[in-house]
A and B are shown apart, each in its own frame.
Chain A
Amino acid sequence: GAVVSQHPSRVICKSGTSVKIECRSLDFQATTMFWYRQFPKQSLMLMATSNEGSKATYEQGVEKDKFLINHASLTLSTLTVTSAHPEDSSFYICTSRSTDTQYFGPGTRLTVL
Chain B
Amino acid sequence: QKEVEQNSGPLSVPEGAIASLNCTYSDRGSQSFFWYRQYSGKSPELIMFIYSNGDKEDGRFTAQLNKASQYVSLLIRDSQPSDSATYLCAVKEGAQKLVFGQGTRLTINP
A49 to B93, CA, bound (A): 13
Number of A-B residue pairs at CB separation under 8 A: 45
Q: Say what secondary structure dominates the interface of chain A.
A: strand
The answer to whether the Cβ of A68 comes within 8 Å of any Cβ in the partner chain is no
Main DSSP-derived SS at the B contact region: strand
Bits for A1-41, please: 1 = Cβ < 8 Å to B, else 0: 10000000000000000000000000000001010000000
Evaluate contact between A43 and B88: CB separation under 8 angstroms: yes
CA distance A42 to B96 in the complex (A): 22
On chain B, the residues within 8 Å of A79 by CB distance are none
**A93 at the A/B interface (Cβ < 8 Å)?**
yes
Q: Do A42 and B102 have beta carbons less than 8 Å apart?
A: yes
Known: A43-B102, A43-B103. A49 touches B44 (CB 8 A): no
A105 contacts across to B, CB distance below 8 A: 43
Task: Specify which chain A residues have a CB less than 8 angstroms from the CB of B101 in the assembled complex.
Answer: 43
* Inter-chain contacts of A54 with B (CB < 8 A): none
Of the candidate stretches A69-77, A80-88, A95-103, the one touching chain B is A95-103
A49 to chain B, nearest CB (A): 7
By size class, the interface of chain A is 20 to 34
Give B10 Cβ to nearest chain A Cβ, in Å: 11
CB–CB B100/A44 < 8 A: yes
Chain B residue contacts of A67, Cβ below 8 A: none
Per-residue A-contact encoding for B75-110, CB less than 8 Å = 1, 0 else = 000000000000010001000111111110000000
The answer to whether A44 and B97 have CB atoms under 8 Å apart is: no
Question: B1 to chain A: closest CB distance in Å?
Answer: 10
Closest CB-CB distance, A36 to chain B, in whole Å? Answer: 8
Interface positions of A (Cβ within 8 A of B): 1, 32, 34, 42-46, 49, 93, 95, 97, 100-107, 109
Q: Which residues of B contact A (CB under 8 A)?
A: 32, 34, 36, 41-46, 49, 88, 92, 96-103
A-B CB proximity, top 7 nearest:
A107-B43, A43-B102, A104-B43, A44-B100, A43-B100, A106-B43, A104-B44
